[in-house]
C-alpha cells in the first residue's frame, strides 16, 4: 500500500503566511511536486552515500519551508542533516535511545512556552544553571536536538519559526572547560546548517565573560544572518519583555507566569515519551 500524500490542513491565516513569506505553493499539487523534486534530487546526488531517513511528505516539507522552497538550499540542509546523523554518532545515537537521556532531560534546563512571542514565534527557554556541572556537553546537545525534532512536528512552528531565550546565569568554569572547539563547531553546524528550522532570534541573558569566550569560539562558524539575530540583554529583562509579553514568562525572567520548574521537568519527560513512541523503544 502506498503512503498517503500530504494534504494541507493549515488555517487560512497560516497558509497565507506560508505563501507570502515562504513561497509555499497555494495549490497542493504544486506543493507535492516540490516535495517530489527534493526527494529525487537527494536520491540522485546523495543516494549512494546516505539512506533517506524518512521519505514521507511531512518530513521533506519541513526542509522546503525552512529555506523558503528554494530547492538547492533545502537539499543542502537535508544532506547536512543526514551527514550529522551518520558522522556525529556521539549525539544521534543518544537521540535514538531516549532512556540514555532521561536524566538529562529531567533536569528541566529546557522548556517550550505554551504561548508565542509578539511576532507569533514559538519560544524555547534554556536555563544553564539547571544543567549542573556533571552533565556532559554531548548529552545536553542530544537533549536539545531531540527537543527541536519534537517541536518540528508542528507545522505552525515550521512556518512561524522559533526564538531561543538562554539564561546563562550559573554557567560555570567547570562547564566551560568541557566546551572544546570541536564540540562548539558541531553544535553550531547541527543547529544552524542541518536542522530544518527557522531560527528568528536568540536572546541571551546574564551572558558575562563566559559568553564572550564562547562567542569567539563559535563566531567563525556563524552565518551573517545568525550573528544579526543574537540579542544580548545582560541583566535587563525589560528589554526581553519588548519581544515576549511578561505575562507568558516565568518568574526567573521577571515574568508573571509563575515557577515553571515542574513544567520543564514534565516537558523533558514528554520529549522522552515522544521519542519512545517514535522509535518503539522502552524506557
Q: Is residue 190 part of a domain?
A: yes
The whole-number pLDDT of residue 205 equals 93
- Structural Rg of the chain based on CA atoms: 19
Domains in the chain, number: 2
38 with 139, same domain: the answer is no
C-alpha to C-alpha distance for 80 and 173, rounded to whole angstroms: 32
Containing domain of residue 82, as a range?
12-87
Stated pTM of the model: 0.92
C-alpha to C-alpha distance for 69 and 77, rounded to whole angstroms: 12
The confidence band for 269, taking pLDDT boundaries of 50, 70 and 90, is very high
**CATH number of the structural domain spanning residue 243:** 3.40.525.10
Helix or strand run (H / E) with residue 166: strand 162-167
Q: Buried (b) or exposed (e) across 125-153, using 16+ Cβ within 10 A?
A: bbbbebbeeebebbbbbbbbbbbbbbbbe
Q: What is the mean pLDDT of residues 256-261?
A: 94
Query: By percentage, how much of the chain surpasses pLDDT 70?
Result: 98
Q: Which residues contact 27 (CB under 8 A, 6 or more apart)?
A: none
Length reported for the chain: 283
Model confidence at 204: pLDDT above 80: yes
36 with 126, same domain: the answer is no
51 with 172, same domain: the answer is no
Find, among 105, 116, 135, 106, the residue nearest to 249 by Cα. Answer: 116
49 with 119, same domain: the answer is no
**Three-class DSSP labels, 1-16:** CCCCCCCCCCCHHHHH
Alpha helices (runs of H) in 106-172, residue ranges in sequence order = 137-151, 155-160
Q: Is residue 92 part of a domain?
A: no
Q: Is residue 221 part of a domain?
A: yes
The tens digit of pLDDT for each residue in 182-198 reads: 888 888 899 899 999 99
Q: What is the mean pLDDT of residues 44-52?
A: 94
Chain mean pLDDT for the chain: 91
The confidence band for 97, taking pLDDT boundaries of 50, 70 and 90, is confident
The confidence band for 283, taking pLDDT boundaries of 50, 70 and 90, is very low
C-alpha to C-alpha distance for 237 and 203, rounded to whole angstroms: 10
**CATH number of the structural domain spanning residue 75:** 1.10.8
Handedness of CA 276, 281, 282, 283 (dihedral sign): negative
Amino acid at each position: 500500500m502506498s503512503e498517503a500524500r500530504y494534504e494541507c490542513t493549515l488555517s487560512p491565516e497560516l497558509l497565507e503566511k506560508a505563501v507570502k513569506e515562504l513561497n509555499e505553493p497555494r495549490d497542493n499539487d504544486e506543493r507535492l511536486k516540490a516535495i517530489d523534486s527534493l526527494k529525487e534530487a537527494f536520491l540522485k546526488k546523495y543516494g549512494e552515500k546516505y539512506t533517506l531517513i524518512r521519505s514521507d511528505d511531512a518530513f521533506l516539507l519541513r526542509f522546503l519551508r525552512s529555506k523558503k522552497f528554494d530547492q538547492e538550499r533545502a537539499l543542502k540542509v537535508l544532506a547536512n542533516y543526514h551527514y550529522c546523523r551518520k558522522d556525529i554518532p556521539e549525539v544521534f545515537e543518544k537521540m535514538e535511545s531516549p532512556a540514555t537521556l532521561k536524566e538529562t532531560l529531567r533536569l528541566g534546563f529546557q522548556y517550550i512556552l505554551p504561548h508565542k512571542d509578539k511576532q507569533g514565534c514559538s519560544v524555547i527557554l534554556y536555563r544553564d544553571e539547571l544543567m549542573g556541572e556533571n552533565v556532559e556537553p554531548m548529552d545536553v546537545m542530544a537533549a536539545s536536538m531531540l527537543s527541536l525534532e519534537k517541536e518540528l512536528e508542528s507545522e505552525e512552528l515550521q512556518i512561524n519559526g522559533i526564538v531561543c531565550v538562554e539564561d546563562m546565569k550559573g554557567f560555570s568554569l567547570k562547564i566551560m572547560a568541557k566546551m572544546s572547539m570541536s564540540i562548539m563547531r558541531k553544535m553550531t553546524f547541527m543547529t544552524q546548517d542541518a536542522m530544518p528550522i527557522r531560527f528568528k532570534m536568540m536572546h541571551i541573558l546574564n551572558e558575562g565573560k563566559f559568553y564572550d569566550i564562547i562567542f569567539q569560539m563559535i563566531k567563525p562558524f556563524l552565518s551573517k544572518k545568525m550573528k544579526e539575530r543574537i540579542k544580548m540583554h545582560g541583566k535587563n529583562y525589560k528589554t526581553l519583555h519588548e519581544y515576549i509579553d511578561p505575562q507568558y514568562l516565568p518568574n526567573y525572567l521577571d515574568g508573571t507566569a509563575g515557577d515553571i520548574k515542574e513544567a520543564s521537568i514534565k516537558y523533558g519527560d514528554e520529549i522522552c515519551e515522544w521519542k519512545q513512541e517514535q522509535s518503539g523503544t522502552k524506557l
